[in-house]
Amino acid sequence: MADEVILLDYWPSPFGIRARIALREKGVEFECREENLRDKSPLLLQMNPVHKKIPVLIHNGKPVCESMNVVQYIDEVWSDRNPILPSDPYQRAQARFWVDFVDTKLLKPADQLWQTKGEEQETAKKEYIEALKILESELGDKPYFGGDTFGFLDIAMTGYYSWFEASEKLANFSIEPECPILMASAKRCLQRESVVKSLHDSEKILELAYKLRKEYGV
């Protein structure tokens, strides 16, 4: 029986991109359905009634929600190729720990970079760089967080990497001088085939961010 894989998505989302990348890393055919977050489809509301958010992976009619949960699910279902999580329990715990760090410490300042201005934005910039520096020391001299292979934490981070250029322009700062090693790894990730196919133009993301800022009166 052929698998039916549908992804409810939103093109600039740093969370949606994680699911797209994971599916492409595994070579899984899927249908991407674009959501209008201001007018959510009945399918989205039915498949994620608790949070009403994307991404939602619908696999043979059954929904999986929360981006890194979706990535783990993809890794476990299509376990015969390109493993995303390492096999060693200790390394798996480390990967999960750092993904939790990313989505608790990096998320809020990343949002505030484009949602705020003035002093609030400056504070967000400091917290953002601080979190990136902690991640950079975790990366060490490895090409990827996953070591020699692109893994779970790299996929999580690529969501943020896809917003790097836009964030830098919006908040008027440069990440490379602060975190050169992380930036090198980010560039490596952004050049990966699964990422290139999943990425949208940085210019389009920046355009959207400016538009939203205007709407929010920032």
Partner 1 sequence: MASGEVKLIGAWASPFVMRPRVALNLKSVPYEFLQETFGSKSELLLKSNPVHKKIPVLLHADKPVCESNIIVEYIDETWSSSGPSLLPSLPYDRAMARFWAAYIDEKWFVALRNFLKAEGEEEKKAVIAEFEEGNALLEKAFIDCSKGKPFFNGDHIGYLDISLGSFLAWLRVTELAASYKLLDEAKTPSLCKWADHFCNDPAVKPVMPETAKLAEFAKKIFAKPQA
Q: Provide the binding-site residues for partner 1, judged by CB under 8 A.
A: 50, 59, 62, 64-66, 69-70, 72-73, 76-77, 89-90, 92-93, 96-97, 100-101, 134
Min dist CB 64 to partner 1, Å, is 5
What are the residue ranges of helices labelled H in the chain? 16-25, 42-47, 67-77, 89-101, 107-115, 118-139, 152-161, 164-171, 180-190, 193-198, 202-215
92 versus 142: smaller Cβ distance to partner 1: 92
Min dist CB 7 to partner 1, Å, is 14
10 versus 101: smaller Cβ distance to partner 1: 101
Cα(48)–Cα(57) distance, rounded to whole angstroms?
10
Min dist CB 117 to partner 1, Å, is 28
Min dist CB 132 to partner 1, Å, is 14
53 versus 125: smaller Cβ distance to partner 1: 53
Residues 6+ apart with CB under 8 A from 161: 186, 189, 190
Min dist CB 202 to partner 1, Å, is 30
70 versus 195: smaller Cβ distance to partner 1: 70
Min dist CB 156 to partner 1, Å, is 14
Backbone φ, ψ for residue 112 (5° rounding):
-70, -25
Cα(80)–Cα(151) distance, rounded to whole angstroms?
15
What's the token pair of residue 121? 């934005």
Cα(195)–Cα(207) distance, rounded to whole angstroms?
21
Cis peptide before 55 (omega within 30 of 0): yes
What's the token pair of residue 155? 């996929």
90 versus 215: smaller Cβ distance to partner 1: 90
- Spatial strand order of the sheet with 5-9 comes to 31-34, 5-9, 56-59, 62-65
54 versus 171: smaller Cβ distance to partner 1: 54
What's the token pair of residue 131? 């979190």
